[in-house]
């Protein structure tokens, strides 16, 4: 199975990188852009065929290592 | 007196810490590789040094927090051994859950490297007792991700319990409430973003850092 994990800073946490990218986009003329957040995507293959079990496992990986839940939230896709 | 400096792949202030502790306290300092699973017997002070452990992969300190040696560091801290994380070491302690909060990218996205003046917010910890009667000390920061963050209830608790130990007088990185250093609830684990190991002799611009190591070992 393929697992994709998206990690972003939580809404209340200032994303200075996102803010800088937003300002750069404004500078290029895209004035309608707002709320830019820069996150990361982590992909990997996972042995097993049970999607629900895989999702639970990937969430455990997120809580333990892939995300710092003090500042980040995550979204898991398993297919 | 015995101190141990943990060396992670990518640590770059490990030697500085050894020299700083030796010269300011006369203690014997062992270097402990991150892959080791034992600390020297009778260690009085553990230091997690600054640098870029594991190349800051994933998040600063995230991989180092899972290093084999960290199990021993955690056990020693739980026994009450004085433990100090400096800069990247602070990030590692937060990632390991040994200190609350996290260190974010600096507010202005810049790596800040300069001398900073700090308020000694709590001079009654085992790390700051030597500063008694002094309100201000000077150390040096060098960080790109030194912006301390914790949610409001945690900040309130830190403030209320006297766990905020140092505060920037002129906040260089956007840290919540100007936090430069905190201790755990038990008071034996300190995380500090500025480097006492870069300010332990007058020739370095300040000798205030020496007092931190002296206090930590005097309390052991």
Is pTM beyond 0.80 here?
yes
CATH number at residue A18: 3.30.1280.10
Q: Which residue on chain B is closest to A12 by alpha carbon? A: B151
A20–B102 C-beta distance less than 8 A: no
Domain ranges of chain B: 2-218
Residue of B83, B121, B115 lying closest to B3 (CA atoms) = B83
Find all residues with CB under 8 Å of A12, minimum gap 6, and list them: B151
Q: Decide if B195 is catalytic.
A: yes
Domain count, chain A: 1
Q: Which two tokens stand for residue B108?
A: 């202005």
Q: Which CATH number fits domain B2-218: 3.40.30.10, 3.40.50.880, 3.40.50.2300, 3.40.1280.10?
A: 3.40.50.880
Q: pLDDT tens, position by position, for chain B (220 residues)? A: 999 999 999 999 999 999 999 999 999 999 999 999 999 999 999 999 999 999 999 999 999 999 999 999 999 999 999 999 999 999 999 999 999 999 999 999 899 999 999 999 999 999 999 999 888 999 999 999 999 999 999 999 999 999 999 999 999 999 999 999 999 999 999 999 999 999 999 999 999 999 999 999 998 8
Show residues of chain B in contact with A16, CB under 8 Å.
Answer: 104-109, 174
Q: What residue numbers bound the domain in which A67 lies?
A: 2-78
List strand residue ranges (DSSP E) for chain B, in order: 2-7, 28-33, 45-48, 82-86, 102-104, 112-120, 136-143, 147-149, 164-168, 179-183, 189-192
Query: Which of B13, B60, B87, B94 is an active site residue?
Result: B87
Contact A13 B108 (CB under 8 A): no
Tell me the chain A residues in contact with residue B112 when contact means C-beta distances shorter than 8 Å: none
Enumerate the residues of chain B whose CB falls inside 8 A of the CB of residue A17: 105, 109
């Amino acid at each position: 199975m393929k697992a994709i994990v998206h990690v972003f800073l939580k809404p209340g946490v200032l994303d200075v990188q996102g803010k800088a990218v937003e300002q750069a986009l404004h500078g290029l003329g895209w004035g309608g852009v707002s709320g830019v957040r820069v996150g990361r995507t982590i992909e990997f293959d996972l042995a097993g065929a049970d999607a629900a079990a895989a999702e639970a496992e990937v969430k455990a990986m997120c809580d333990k290592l892939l995300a710092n839940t003090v500042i980040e939230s995550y979204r898991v896709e398993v297919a | 007196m015995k101190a141990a400096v943990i060396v992670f792949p990518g640590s770059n202030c490990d030697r500085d810490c050894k020299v700083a502790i030796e010269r300011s306290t006369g203690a014997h300092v062992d270097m402990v590789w991150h892959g080791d699973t034992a600390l020297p017997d009778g260690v009085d002070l553990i230091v997690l040094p600054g640098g870029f452990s594991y190349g800051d992969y994933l998040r600063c300190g995230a991989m180092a927090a899972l290093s084999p040696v960290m199990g021993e560091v955690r056990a020693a801290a739980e026994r009450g051994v004085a433990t100090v994380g400096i800069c990247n070491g602070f990030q590692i302690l937060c990632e390991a859950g040994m200190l609350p909060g996290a260190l974010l990218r600096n507010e202005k996205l810049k790596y800040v490297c300069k001398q900073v003046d700090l308020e000694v917010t709590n001079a009654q910890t085992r790390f700051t007792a030597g500063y008694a009667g002094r309100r201000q000390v000077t150390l040096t920061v060098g960080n790109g991700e030194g912006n301390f963050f914790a949610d409001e209830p945690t900040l309130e608790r830190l403030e209320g319990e006297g766990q905020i130990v140092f505060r920037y007088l002129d906040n260089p990185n956007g840290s919540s409430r100007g936090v430069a250093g905190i201790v755990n609830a038990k008071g034996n684990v300190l995380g500090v973003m500025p480097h006492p190991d870069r300010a332990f002799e007058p020739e370095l611009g300040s000798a205030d850092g020496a007092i931190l190591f002296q206090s930590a070992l005097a309390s052991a």
